[in-house]
Structure 1
């Protein structure tokens, strides 16, 4: 679908009365979801933006579909790392749902979850936690203890605690979510596979590799059975299992899984997708730890270029790629090449995540150490 056709479609949708008010939003979100799912955020953006504009014109400022459109656009901005643009949209959507549907409605709970996820992405854990807790309580009140949305909320809160290193608080929530999904959806369901993956990641973060490995393997097998060999979730599971082996220094076991995940992501999603950049980054990290710097460098550079193209110059994932390349150069003693990359990464992290985020602190410390090394070099 060309941009010219997209532009024409906007005009047709805006003025064609054959699209009822009840179906107006869906005339846009199908195309938006299509592009968003491929990581083509720049192509998805005009559909989300026009959806919001035209929905407001046709339905008025105070309509549930306007709130949904605000949520969708905010989600896109969050995916692009545009957190400051996403936040007011999420807040507006939440306020609108509360006004139109009342305090006790599933859409309000979902909006609370969305806003909490945004804050969590920024490392604003103290702001995210009460929203996740409120969403969980609301789902339990409205839907009962045994509902998939309750399980998802348990997962969200567990992920927040895991991000903060509060593993003892995260583990029972992940276990409860997994048990609930199994009870409600059966043993063979994609949500069960995701829950297995989440619990495995928690154990891996704690160095409990023997507990994590069978869960990762079970999640991979389940995804292959349910989704087939060629599915993005299978690629994700391959990456996860490879990361587990990499963390244990089992590089010969990790490498073929990383290569398989990269090939699968490229085949399914195309060359230009954020998941491809992630796979390139993972494989590069493996080579770096093995001292294969000449093999790692082109992969890091390719991942950085891809993230810049897809996400823009100032996305946290771009900062992560800049940092990774800087670390590689530091390992090689190329301090003058590493320094500007650290500086760029630090600027982005400070802007988007704040000065106290763990990523920001790590890069700041790495830069300070690098400068010590530079200053200690003979003239």
Structure 2
């Protein structure tokens, strides 16, 4: 029961057996010291074996992390006897319909065990097989690197595998730095509270919520009550329950304010956290105000390169990006990255977040090659620092898919989006807002590929989730209405398209600043419908309003200008004004040739448009 509780991070079992876990670990540590100083000492380097079953899903995850690190996350029983491990444990598991039989071969260096405080004990005289098994028991935090995974030939099954592991410890410099920093990051709280923070970082919000609710019930001091409320706010924010998140963050803020100056940094963190909830709800002005309050406190209380300052700059950058102020956003993100490079180890997850944020701004500015480079740098760090199905992976694959989509590489885009959705199905509750993003983006690729029925189905699924998860005037709802309108527009159902575009515009006017790029897209799409319906004067008015906003909001060669000029060129062509049509189509061609790959469909289309109009003249 204990090992199952540890493997599954079962909060109730761990809380009930916490004393026993600590006692057993200490007993192993003491016995290890005694045995290594006696004649029973193990050689400096030796091998042990472990046979067990592994679910098909867990085995597939392991294969994907070959070369990476793994922990069994329990008190680890191993044997010096290969035959017992193989015949009694690994091989029988291969014949279970739901599992794969695994023989782990572990290379142990006692110097690494000593340096890394990784105790083990020889329990050969008290195990089930007496001295035949030669059982070696390791404590809970033993870490291995996966060296090799290979199939074991067997006449009766193809589900027997050998996995070679090497004990990891202080000899691994990057891992050592990252571990030290993470310990520092969660220091200062009780062991139980640290467990909750780890559960949040591992993407286990339901378990963290259960733990913090139990801890809050038992909390006696104001400081600890505030801390538990703040952590519960973070849990609810992560699962998309924003009103609950605000409630718990506000409770924490009220307590920290009463506690006075000693709690200023906790107050700053709470302002930042509640700001991030308002950001998720699309209330950007509230979010910006709270982020700036957090930054003011931290500038006074912290040294200039403290990692928490990076968090404040990042939050401010996020809001500016969503308000369409990309140069301000990029400046804030780069300041955040600069601090993190000085303050954090090279593979810390927060560095991945910084590169991801910078990629988002470049993407919004239409600089797709720079965006892709930043996203891939972020993903590299995440693969080292995070467990394989952490929600951050989903966002990275989603962002990479967006770049490929805009570069016209639709099969790569679809593959990335589907990988993102696959991770989210494992990591998140079913109506989390991030699912809406996945379905929305898959719909966008199908739209670009001309598969309008599939596109419509995906966009409608996205809209359903957003209606459940978001307030009625959230900008993301406007995006869904816009995308459904685009599909109907291209299916020739213009009245339906216009209805959805007008819903999009209604929300966008309420939710965003007057010169936000999304407003330009709304006017552009309404113009497109009017053009298709033959109402050319209304179409021209909408196109011109769209172009005015883009000239204010975007850099001069942004791809969205190409969309404006293309639509105005097509409109002038339909009206028989071929000289203006040629002017706009040539401007479109010049922009797409600068910003997109030469084989992109928009580049090829722009050249055809120019040649077609020339022939009409």
TM-score (norm 2): 0.47
Q: Say yes or no: does 1:23 pair with 2:261.
A: no
Shift of 1:56: 4.1
Q: Equivalent residues in 2 for 1:1-379 (5 A)?
A: 20-24=264-268, 37=282, 55-56=298-299, 58-75=301-318, 78=321, 86-87=329-330, 89-227=332-470, 231-266=474-509, 268-269=510-511, 272=514, 274=516, 275-305=518-548, 311=553, 316=558, 319=561, 323=565, 326-327=568-569, 330-331=572-573, 332-334=575-577, 356-358=594-596, 369=610
Shift of 1:50: 8.7
On the 8 A contact 1:300/1:324 being kept in 2, the answer is: no
Shift of 1:155: 0.9
Shift of 1:315: 9.1
On the 8 A contact 1:242/1:258 being kept in 2, the answer is: yes
Q: Mark the CA change 1:337 to 1:232 in structure 2 (over 3 Å): closer, same or farther.
A: same
Q: Mark the CA change 1:150 to 1:60 in structure 2 (over 3 Å): closer, same or farther.
A: same
Shift of 1:121: 3.4
On the 8 A contact 2:401/2:414 being kept in 1, the answer is: yes
Q: Distance in 1 between matches of 2:420 and 2:489?
A: 28
On the 8 A contact 1:74/1:90 being kept in 2, the answer is: yes
Q: Distance in 2 between matches of 1:223 and 1:44?
A: 20
Q: Distance in 1 between matches of 2:297 and 2:580?
A: 49
Shift of 1:199: 1.0
Shift of 1:47: 8.4
Higher helix fraction (1 or 2): 1
Shift of 1:229: 5.7
Q: Distance in 2 between matches of 1:19 and 1:318?
A: 47
Q: Distance in 2 between matches of 1:357 and 1:73?
A: 28
In structure 2, the residue corresponding to 1:20 is in which secondary structure? helix
Shift of 1:336: 7.1
Shift of 1:17: 6.6
Point out where structure 1 has 5 or more consecutive residues left out of the alignment: 1-15
CA deviations 1:284-341 (Å, max 9, x no partner) are: 11112333112212323344455567x3896948846863674366333456777998
RMSD: 4.6
Shift of 1:25: 6.9
Mean CA deviation greater in 159-168 or 227-236:
227-236
Higher relative contact order (CA 8 A, sep 6+): 1
Q: Hey, what does 1:13 align to over in structure 2? A: none
Q: Distance in 1 between matches of 2:524 and 2:581?
A: 17
- For the pair shown, the structure with the greater C-alpha radius of gyration is 2
Mean CA deviation greater in 321-330 or 91-100:
321-330
Higher strand fraction (1 or 2): 2
Q: Mark the CA change 1:246 to 1:161 in structure 2 (over 3 Å): closer, same or farther.
A: same
On the 8 A contact 1:300/1:321 being kept in 2, the answer is: no
On the 8 A contact 1:159/1:170 being kept in 2, the answer is: yes
The number of equivalent residue pairs is 352
Q: Mark the CA change 1:180 to 1:100 in structure 2 (over 3 Å): closer, same or farther.
A: same
Shift of 1:243: 0.6
Q: Distance in 2 between matches of 1:125 and 1:308?
A: 20
On the 8 A contact 2:272/2:312 being kept in 1, the answer is: no
Shift of 1:51: 7.0
On the 8 A contact 1:97/1:107 being kept in 2, the answer is: yes
Shift of 1:35: 9.4
CA deviations 1:211-252 (Å, max 9, x no partner) are: 222222222223234447654333322211111121232323
